[in-house]
Amino acid sequence: MLPISVTTMAANGLTVSYHAYDFSYPDGPQDAETLLVNESGRLFIVTKGQKAAIYEAPAKPDREDVNELEQVGPAPANVTDGTFLPGGDRIALLTYSSVEVIDATSYEVMASASIPDQPQAESLTLSLDQSSLLVGSEGKRSKVYSMPVPSEANPTPTPSTDPGSETDVPEDEAAFGQGQQGTLLALGLAAFLALVAGLVVALARKAP
């Protein structure tokens, strides 16, 4: 199968090119919405079902042939997004009701926290200063919530209900404050990864 090269325009006006790789699961087609990239550029896919798992891609995927993923650990059920945390030794995974922080080596759950009530949690990313997590739903004018990163010392933090902890995402406005720009840029990066993950999963399902 030939490699697919896609060029897209990023939110900040820069042109970003990326390549699509073809992957196959060792245990048949899976439902997945989460693509993770560690600090060395290694790709991981987290499946979504009740028997969810984490799959690791080859260190250097082949852009011409189908790459087989390796199942490396279990995952919480109903994961819709995720991100590596600073340092690369932990992963934050978003479900419909919580953020689960897992060890990036053993994949065991280290901490958990409920997320603010919202219709359907679909996006997760770090704030620009990497001090908190941003959680978003889907649809027009959906809310963006800021919450602490769950930790072992404080495994069930309650997200702030302060007006400053949520941000409207407008349909179309010409000017934003600096804080809103940062929030939208961070979520844009999360949405970009989600787009790539969807492409990877779709191609994987076509693979023999």
Give the pLDDT confidence of 77-91 residue by residue, as tens digits: 999 999 999 999 999
Q: In this predicted model, what pLDDT tens digit does every residue of 46-59 receive, in sequence order?
A: 999 888 999 999 99
Q: What is the pLDDT of residue 154?
A: 53
Tokens (6 digits) for 197: 């993950």
Give the β-pairing of 22-24 and 15-20: unpaired
Residue 5 Cα to chain centre, angstroms? 22
For residue 182, the one-letter residue type is: G
Q: How many whole angstroms separate alpha carbon 159 and alpha carbon 199?
A: 32
* Cα distance between residue 14 and residue 98, in whole Å: 34
Q: Are the CB atoms for 199 and 35 separated by under 8 Å?
A: no
Are 48 and 34 in contact by the 8 Å Cβ rule? The answer is yes
User: What pLDDT, on the 0 to 100 scale, is given for residue 162?
Assistant: 40
pLDDT of residue 32: 94
Secondary structure class of 64 (helix, strand, coil): coil
List the domains of the chain with CATH numbers.
4-199 (2.110.10)
Closest CA to 34 of 22, 19, 49, 24: 49
Which residues have C-beta within 8 Å of that of residue 146, sequence separation ≥ 6? Answer: 127, 132, 133, 134, 135, 159, 160, 164, 165, 166
pLDDT of residue 169: 43
User: How does DSSP assign 68-92, residue by residue?
Assistant: EPEEEEE--TT--EEEEPTTSSEEE
Nearest to 124 by CA among 95, 153, 86, 159: 95
Sites in the chain below the pLDDT cut of 50: 1-9, 155-165, 167-208
Residues whose CB is less than 8 angstroms from the CB of residue 8 and which lie 6 or more positions away in sequence, other chains included? 15, 16, 17, 18, 192
Given this model, what pLDDT does residue 205 score? Answer: 46
Positive or negative torsion for Cα 181, 20, 76, 83: negative
Are 112 and 156 within 8 A, CB to CB? Answer: yes
